[in-house]
Structure 1
């Protein structure tokens, strides 16, 4: 089959520019807001550094005043002794002049008092400065969380923009001429010419879509994995004619809509698959075609000889579907029809677990139950879930097929350090917090290992845990804290003084009515206790130590990060991406994300057997004698995933409390 030179004339706009301009405006708006927030955060960082430097200077001045106080105290005592000696001599010799001794003592008293006043003023200045630093730090944490949240929104907006750009609708006019074969009828030549024009129209449509993608440079190299499709909405012959030389010319007007395998959008943009999980399987909407002439109703897949890019074209009607693959033949201008290749076959996947993730040929397709259409041929299928062995199978897809994946739990002894659950010497009924796991001794790298962290996570240092230690496997719960309060009558700092902080419109707001009993969201006894200060946590540790005859305390930062990493060097126990519904943090895909804390132990433990080291609530760590502030670790239900990494550190004042901060304890050997 020989064809004459082909000309394609686009006579109608391909794009609904208004909608896509809005998508771009959304992305641009978020990028602009990120730029503003980044500048605010950088400015706060500079202000904090300035205040910390000033505080250091004030502390140095205080140290000098205290050192001078000792000298002045010594001088005052010496002046007093000298004056007393002069008084004794005055009794024997009334003519002795004691005025110089009196003046010396008077000056010593004045100098000593002045120094005491200076110390008091310096302490007041430092205290005021400390309050400013605390406020700046809280503001920085807010700005950081807002900044990271905006980045989450930006990625979501980019994915949505790309999806909308792929699903554009437009009309093309195609002018197509072919030579009729001597052996075919005029009707057959007419039908073939119209079919070839239709195929070229869909190819040009796909080319136009890719050429007009906002992030075309990023997506184009991955074109073959996009799963881009064309759905023909309608087409009709504008005009057609036969020439005296046996040529047939047809002018077609074809209205089409793009389609894409939405689960692959994240791979095209090189972002985490969790941003695409909401889309699930590709679109399956059917369109009723309307034709001026009698075309075959079909799904067409063909390859263009110039770039060898495959394009899938869906054209739906009530008639049976016929499949074609139009391919070039070597060293000839003829095109042959092959209806045995590139057919789409339905595949259904089910599994025996929830919240799994399906990968087909290395691309995430969401969770089971899953139904999708794949090109006919061999495909590699994998179903994954945290804590289970992956299910893998290779299928030669020739007809509709269903796979029932059976995932098996991993033994705790495999690919994870052994951990041991222990109970305290007292009965469990005393308190369930005594349930701990033993963390083995070892060496690890602490800090921003992967280069994605904050300035206070650097430099990365190697730390050694000389001896094993026991740590509570879960965060201390409301029920456990209630036992402590009932036993001692303890009042938390939130209950005694202006309540507890919560986030409102991205800002921490103090609410006097909030405390561990009423944190601002519904909770039960198995929720982590929050709205507690560092001292509130220490008070509980002291009580538990007395109750159990075991020594409990808050973990050091080194202990906490070592236990949270559980032998890994990745950002999270399962890898460098947060995934979906693997933890309770903002935008992490759980039912509690950005709503409230979750019941402790709602997600799989890490390799050491610790729950919720990622998200749920920030956890207090031990304050060393050289620190004036305390660090919290682990992220929270309303903080961005990037702040739930094992290395993330937030520094707070010991009396700060919020409904996203709790704690867990370690038990001494």
Structure 2
């Protein structure tokens, strides 16, 4: 029998951390300072908009009063003129008639009326100036929103890098171990066992030291038990060793160790989505930095796999073999295993698990309320050789819109319910360049941008208008199947009215409720596929893919949602019907805006008549 004396003494000899592998482009604290700065600018602009709105209202009231006075002064001028003319006629019969008072009264009336007109002109100019200044501030606000969200993205990446830098570093501890050698052990075997036990204890202590010294230790420690972190022993030296009576052996080791935190586990510890640890979306890795990859296990081991779900009376299948209803607990060999959870009336849950450690799979099954995989397609004929936009019917029903997940901005609250008693159709994708061109050919419509308002594009994060940009030349090369941009809400509404006149059906721009109800497709998550934007699933800045941050992609490049709609996440912002209380609003995000602004509930207030090369639209049609 082995008699082990658990008399471990660990002394901190050196925590001389090695430098981080690469300098961060910007530290977490620097980014936080920048976020606070931009947030203060945004709040300041919000206050300025409120002040401008109040000032505009005051000027409008003054202008209304002046115009009302103008009508009264005009009446007085005419009355004075009539009086003077009457006295002139009397002078014919009576040359001694005095008309000086009438002349003076008429001249005073003329001067008063002229002064009023001048005041009207001055106030009109002041109001126009205030409106222009208000427009500029509103544009600055929506660029600041994008800057703020992109900084938050950068902040999350920086937190991941900081955590890995703090964890993936070397340190040194001294560990003492005492034990009693077995009778059948050789001296060397006893020494090796003591050294191994010292290393194990040192590794555990070093792991605790790493966690205790993290910048976000409180947050990370909550997920420590579920993390995949480990410690690698890179070297050791015997400081002292001695034998005592009764086969006792004492050893003191100086152990060099290195923390091992794979990138994906950093996101798990911080509670961040895996996209912030995905190599294709992380620009922070230095050229010489390599991801730590665990070598395949060669020992014959078994790992525990637990399967749970949110429903009862389901069936679990692992690699095609049925294991009964959840919860299921089995021991399996390392490697990849396919897991399916099924129940009648629910969508099947499927996932693939690369089993390298004890793992829990929690399947969320959704009730199969509707079947809209193909959808009911509608496409009205515009002429003998021309068809309108392809639409798909949305089901009637109730839904919740707004900041359902709690991840949104203040303008997404409060959450409200919408109900549609009758089905309605929505164009499967934003209106394309080709479809808009047919409208231009048929109506000779001139867009607001072409009439002189110009079209905006982002330059260094700021929307800058250019008279050279329009729907045919938005600042990037266009194709017929790309979403049309550089169109205002008025242009979009005019397109819908043209469809109504041409087809005899009722077309319009979606209301905000219609847009979000359709974009969510019955889901409560931030995006129709889940709460993470993921990688390569949509065209938005930092979302991966050839188009990200560059220009719109052809419609339908990415998968449709559950109800058959394309491009409800990113690509181009989409106009919704103007509401008197909230003004003009665009939804859906864009190729050059942060992923968080492409959430189903994200909304951005825009001045009516504004055009940009990142804003388009889609249409709806009633039965």
CA distance in 2, matches of 1:221, 1:181: 40
CA distance in 2, matches of 1:90, 1:197: 128
| Residues 1:225 and 1:450: Cα distance change in structure 2 (over 3 Å) | closer
For residues 377-426 of structure 1, what are the alpha-carbon distances to aligned partners after superposition, in whole Å with 9 as ceiling and x for unaligned? 99995799xx9842158999999xxxxxxxxxx99973669953212143
1:599 is aligned, of 551, 554, 557, to: 554
Offset of residue 455 of structure 1: 4.3
1:649 is aligned, of 599, 603, 606, to: 603
Counterparts of 1:134-173 in structure 2, within 5 Å, are 134-173=135-174
Offset of residue 490 of structure 1: 5.0
Which has the larger displacement, 571-580 or 217-226?
Answer: 571-580
Report whether the alignment pairs 1:276 with 2:231. Answer: no
CA distance in 2, matches of 1:566, 1:422: 18
CA distance in 1, matches of 2:367, 2:386: 31
Aligned to 1:257: 258
Offset of residue 204 of structure 1: 1.9
Q: Is the 8 A contact 1:425 1:549 kept in 2?
A: no
CA distance in 1, matches of 2:21, 2:140: 36
Offset of residue 158 of structure 1: 0.9
Q: Is the 8 A contact 2:380 2:387 kept in 1?
A: no
CA distance in 1, matches of 2:347, 2:277: 23
Offset of residue 60 of structure 1: 1.4
Offset of residue 559 of structure 1: 3.9
1:390 is aligned, of 349, 357, 369, to: 349
For residues 574-620 of structure 1, what are the alpha-carbon distances to aligned partners after superposition, in whole Å with 9 as ceiling and x for unaligned? 44443443322223344422222122123333454332222211122
Report whether the alignment pairs 1:426 with 2:382. Answer: yes
> SS in structure 1 opposite 2:386?
coil
CA distance in 2, matches of 1:478, 1:374: 55
Aligned to 2:312: none
CA distance in 1, matches of 2:164, 2:78: 84
> SS in structure 2 opposite 1:578?
coil
Aligned to 1:636: 590
Which has the larger displacement, 519-528 or 390-399?
Answer: 390-399
Q: Is the 8 A contact 2:194 2:251 kept in 1?
A: yes
Aligned to 2:485: 530
Q: Is the 8 A contact 1:621 1:631 kept in 2?
A: yes
Q: Is the 8 A contact 2:540 2:571 kept in 1?
A: yes
CA distance in 1, matches of 2:86, 2:414: 62
> SS in structure 1 opposite 2:241?
strand
Offset of residue 565 of structure 1: 4.1
| Residues 1:427 and 1:421: Cα distance change in structure 2 (over 3 Å) | farther
Q: TM-score, normalised by structure 1?
A: 0.75
Aligned to 2:14: 12
Q: Is the 8 A contact 1:226 1:261 kept in 2?
A: no
Offset of residue 26 of structure 1: 1.2
> SS in structure 2 opposite 1:138?
helix
Offset of residue 557 of structure 1: 3.7
Q: Is the 8 A contact 1:442 1:466 kept in 2?
A: yes
Q: How many residues align?
A: 581
> SS in structure 2 opposite 1:9?
strand
Q: Is the 8 A contact 1:596 1:638 kept in 2?
A: yes
Aligned to 2:287: none
CA distance in 2, matches of 1:570, 1:69: 58
Aligned to 1:328: none
For residues 221-251 of structure 1, what are the alpha-carbon distances to aligned partners after superposition, in whole Å with 9 as ceiling and x for unaligned? 2211111222233334444332345322223
Measured on the aligned residues, the alpha-carbon RMSD in Å equals 4.2
Aligned to 1:176: 177
CA distance in 2, matches of 1:86, 1:440: 79
CA distance in 1, matches of 2:582, 2:353: 59
CA distance in 2, matches of 1:398, 1:169: 25
Aligned to 1:587: 542
Offset of residue 203 of structure 1: 1.6
Which has the larger displacement, 461-470 or 582-591?
Answer: 461-470
Q: Which runs of 5+ in 1 are unaligned?
A: 287-298, 300-313, 315-320, 324-342, 348-359, 361-372, 400-409
| Residues 1:455 and 1:414: Cα distance change in structure 2 (over 3 Å) | closer
> SS in structure 2 opposite 1:501?
strand
Q: TM-score, normalised by structure 2?
A: 0.80
Aligned to 1:659: 613
Aligned to 2:311: none
Q: Is the 8 A contact 2:401 2:415 kept in 1?
A: yes
Report whether the alignment pairs 1:477 with 2:436. Answer: no
For residues 57-116 of structure 1, what are the alpha-carbon distances to aligned partners after superposition, in whole Å with 9 as ceiling and x for unaligned? 111111212222233333334444444444555555554444444444433333333222
Offset of residue 147 of structure 1: 0.8
Offset of residue 641 of structure 1: 2.2
Q: Is the 8 A contact 2:146 2:593 kept in 1?
A: yes
Q: Is the 8 A contact 2:199 2:255 kept in 1?
A: yes
| Residues 1:565 and 1:585: Cα distance change in structure 2 (over 3 Å) | same
Q: Is the 8 A contact 1:545 1:551 kept in 2?
A: yes
CA distance in 2, matches of 1:104, 1:417: 81
| Residues 1:576 and 1:391: Cα distance change in structure 2 (over 3 Å) | closer
Q: Which protein has greater RCO, CA pairs closer than 8 Å, 6+ apart?
A: 2
> SS in structure 2 opposite 1:184?
coil
| Residues 1:422 and 1:136: Cα distance change in structure 2 (over 3 Å) | same
Counterparts of 1:160-559 in structure 2, within 5 Å, are 160-278=161-279, 283-284=292-293, 343=301, 381=339, 389-391=348-350, 414=370, 420-426=376-382, 429-433=385-389, 435-439=390-394, 447-460=402-415, 468-487=423-442, 490-495=445-450, 497=452, 500-511=455-466, 513-559=468-514
> SS in structure 1 opposite 2:204?
helix
Q: Is the 8 A contact 1:493 1:533 kept in 2?
A: yes
Offset of residue 178 of structure 1: 1.6
| Residues 1:214 and 1:396: Cα distance change in structure 2 (over 3 Å) | closer
Q: Is the 8 A contact 1:605 1:612 kept in 2?
A: yes
CA distance in 2, matches of 1:158, 1:398: 26
CA distance in 1, matches of 2:186, 2:396: 85
Aligned to 2:528: 573
Offset of residue 558 of structure 1: 4.3
Q: Is the 8 A contact 2:589 2:598 kept in 1?
A: yes
> SS in structure 1 opposite 2:128?
helix
Q: Is the 8 A contact 1:240 1:250 kept in 2?
A: yes
